[in-house]
Amino acid sequence: MGGRMGHEKNEEKKDPLRPPNRFAATSPVGTGEEPDKEKRGNKKDEDWKEKEKSGSPHPSPLPSEWEREEERGREELMRTVEWWGALCRCGDAMSDADTTVNTGTADGGSDQRGLVGGLIKLARPHQWVKGVFVLAGPAFAYGDGKLDELGLAQLVGTMAVVFFAFCLSASGCYVFNDLGDVEVDRAHPRKCKRPIASGRVSEGQAKVFGVALLIIGLGLGFLIPGDLKWWVVGLVGAYIANVMVYTAVFKHMVILDVLSLSSGFVIRVLGGCAAVAVTPSTWLLNATLFLSMFLAFGKRLGERRVMGDADVASAREVQQRYSDQILRMLVVVVGVATLLTYTGYVQSREHDLSVMLAAGVGGGFAFNLLWVTVMPAMLGLLRTITLIMDGKYDDPTELAMKDPVVRWSGVAFVGLTVGAVMLAG
């Protein structure tokens, strides 16, 4: 025993460069339990010594069985972590439309779901709220009793067709607008998450999708009965042409960019009136024009307040020609014009929407029910101006959906308007 130990010590002295066996204390080698492994270990030692004598670089020690098991366990742990991370990201994608996840499934199902979600987001269905402008004229005409012969069911069906015709056409225009702005959108803090700018939807897929939306939008106009369908189709076509010209030319021109956008809202009102053959009042068209100009100027001011002068110019070229001062002035001017025009419209309907509350020698006590809608309209508009000036939002439409005061002001305005029309009718 003592001779063997001395021999081992001599070997250690002869081989000072030999890497130590870190697992000698726990390894079964040398204990007599596994002689085959001991022989293989001795063979490795001999090979190592031969290479040392020949001047070859020292070979790296081969991993032991314990090391290989440790490495396999580490790899299995990493695969588990990656799988769990992919699963969590997939769950986030189901609750956040802005998150794109590819879990790498063999059947490509996740890619397909990501594409469908990207196309839906590309269509911007949350912007369909602007389609309510097609309902303005027919709603008041119905309250006046001008559409009694049409019937409520037919009226609802006709307005639904016109509503979706303009909404799908607007979605198709949004697609081509995003295609033209893809590079600029990547520099915008919010627009960089759009499907094309983020790479979620390819440009080829977006073009096919946009063309399909425009064809369907125009096609819906042909469902309107009688000769009125030609007016509806023509107005939908005029809306598409206006947006395309805006995308190509007017969006780069001061004031004309806002006038072009506002014209789209006026065309919506005209389309709704044409579908049921009613004449829109001048007050209604003016109020629509000023309100849409307020929204457009407010969006440009909001972008400047949120992003700053330097970044906003790279995100929207026309912002180089605007300034905070002139935009604040324009927002206030068109905001006041909107309120004054709407109050003028309310006054013009005094004869139609007033109800007699009590008779008397002075002719009776009557009240214009539509006047009660002025209060929520004023609250929502002034609240919007305040939040935009503070730089809390860069889009009045987004503000209307997220701010509770503005949102409930809108709900109250619609509810009171419908109630006034129905009670007076």
DSSP string over 183-229: HHHTTSTTGGGSHHHHTSS-HHHHHHHHHHHHHHHHHHHTTS-TTHH
53-105 pLDDT tens trace:
555 444 444 455 656 655 665 666 566 546 545 544 444 443 343 433 333 33
| Angle, in degrees to the nearest 10, between helices 282-307 and 374-389 | 20
pLDDT of residue 15: 47
pLDDT at 189 over 50: yes
Which of 240, 235, 243 has the alpha carbon at shortest distance from 273? Answer: 235
Comparing 20-24, 144-148, 193-197, 288-292, the range with the smallest average pLDDT is 20-24
Number of other residues whose CB lies within 10 A of the CB of residue 247:
19
pLDDT of residue 169: 96
d(CA 373, CA 342): 10
Higher-confidence residue of 372 and 307: namely 372
d(CA 287, CA 293): 10
269-304 pLDDT tens trace:
999 999 999 999 898 899 999 999 999 999 888 888
Q: Judging by beta carbons within 10 Å of its beta carbon (0-12, 13-18, 19+), is residue 125 exposed, middle or buried?
A: exposed
pLDDT at 263 over 80: yes
pLDDT at 172 over 90: yes
User: CB within 8 A of 127, min separation 6: which ones?
Assistant: 170, 171, 174, 397
Comparing 140-144, 264-268, 310-314, the range with the smallest average pLDDT is 310-314
Percent of the chain with pLDDT over 70: 71
Higher-confidence residue of 386 and 307: namely 386
Please state the rounded mean pLDDT for residues 109-114: 60
Q: Which two three-digit tokens encode residue 24? A: 């000698």
SS3 254: coil
What are the C-alpha distances in Å from 87 to residues 90, 98, 300?
A: 5, 17, 40
Eight-class DSSP state of 54: T
Chain mean pLDDT for the chain: 78
For domain 129-280, say whether CATH 1.10.357.140 is its number.
yes
pLDDT at 108 over 60: no
SS3 27: coil
Asked whether the whole model's pTM tops 0.75, one would answer: no
pLDDT at 216 over 90: yes
Beta-bridge partner residues of 366: 356
Let me know: does 413 contact 287? Beta carbons within 8 Å: no
pLDDT of residue 32: 44
296-345 pLDDT tens trace:
999 888 888 877 766 666 667 788 888 889 999 999 999 999 999 999 98
Higher-confidence residue of 57 and 414: namely 414
Comparing 61-75, 125-139, 203-217, the range with the smallest average pLDDT is 61-75
Q: Any idea where the domains of the chain sit in the sequence?
A: 129-280, 285-425
Let me know: does 228 contact 275? Beta carbons within 8 Å: yes
pLDDT at 227 over 60: yes
pLDDT at 31 over 50: no
- H/E stretch holding 357 reads strand 354-358
pLDDT band at 197 (very low <50, low <70, confident <90, very high): confident
pLDDT at 27 over 80: no
Please state the rounded mean pLDDT for residues 375-404: 87
pLDDT at 139 over 80: yes
Eight-class DSSP state of 280: P
Q: Judging by beta carbons within 10 Å of its beta carbon (0-12, 13-18, 19+), is residue 422 exposed, middle or buried?
A: exposed
pLDDT of residue 112: 60
Q: Cα-flanking dihedrals φ and ψ of residue 32, to 5°?
A: 90, 0
d(CA 339, CA 290): 9
- H/E stretch holding 355 reads strand 354-358
DSSP characters for 84-141?
HHHHHHHHHHHH-TT-------TT-HHHHHHHHHHHHHHH-GGGGGGGGHHHHHHHHH
What are the C-alpha distances in Å from 157 to residues 129, 142, 220, 396?
A: 18, 14, 12, 30
Q: Are strands 365-368 and 354-358 parallel, antiparallel or unpaired?
A: antiparallel
Which region, left, alpha or beta, applies to residue 148 given φ > 0 means left and ψ of -120 to 50 means alpha?
alpha
pLDDT band at 170 (very low <50, low <70, confident <90, very high): very high
